[in-house]
Amino acid sequence: MSRSRLILGITGTNGAGKGTVVEYLVKNHGFAHFSASALISEEIEKRKMPVNRESMIEVGNDLRAKFGAGFIAQELIKRASQTDKNAIVESIRTVGEIEKLREVGGILLAVDALQKLRYERNLKRGSNKDNVIWEEFVDQELRESESTDPNKQNLIACRDRADYRLENNGSLEDLYEQIEKILNIIKNK
- Taking only Cα atoms into account, the Rg of the chain, rounded to an integer number of angstroms, comes to 16
Neighbouring C-beta atoms of residue 144, cutoff 10 Å: 20
- Write the pLDDT tens digit of every residue in 17-42: 999 999 999 999 999 999 999 999 99
Neighbouring C-beta atoms of residue 83, cutoff 10 Å: 13
> Is pLDDT above 50 for 96?
yes
Whole-number Å distance between alpha carbons of 80 and 34: 7
Domains of the chain listed by start with CATH number: 7-183 (3.40.50.300)
- Write the pLDDT tens digit of every residue in 148-179: 888 888 999 999 999 999 999 999 999 999 99
The predicted structure's pLDDT at residue 129: 61
State mean pLDDT over 91-99. Answer: 95
Full-model pTM:
0.90
> Is pLDDT above 50 for 131?
yes
State mean pLDDT over 118-144. Answer: 81
Nearest C-alpha neighbor of 36 from the set 66, 61, 65: 61
As a whole-number percent, the residues of the chain with pLDDT over 90 amount to: 73
Whole-number Å distance between alpha carbons of 108 and 98: 7
State mean pLDDT over 109-138. Answer: 85
Nearest C-alpha neighbor of 18 from the set 2, 26, 186: 26
Whole-number Å distance between alpha carbons of 165 and 160: 9
The predicted structure's pLDDT at residue 128: 57
* 1 confidence band (pLDDT: 50, 70, 90): very low
Strand partners, 156: none
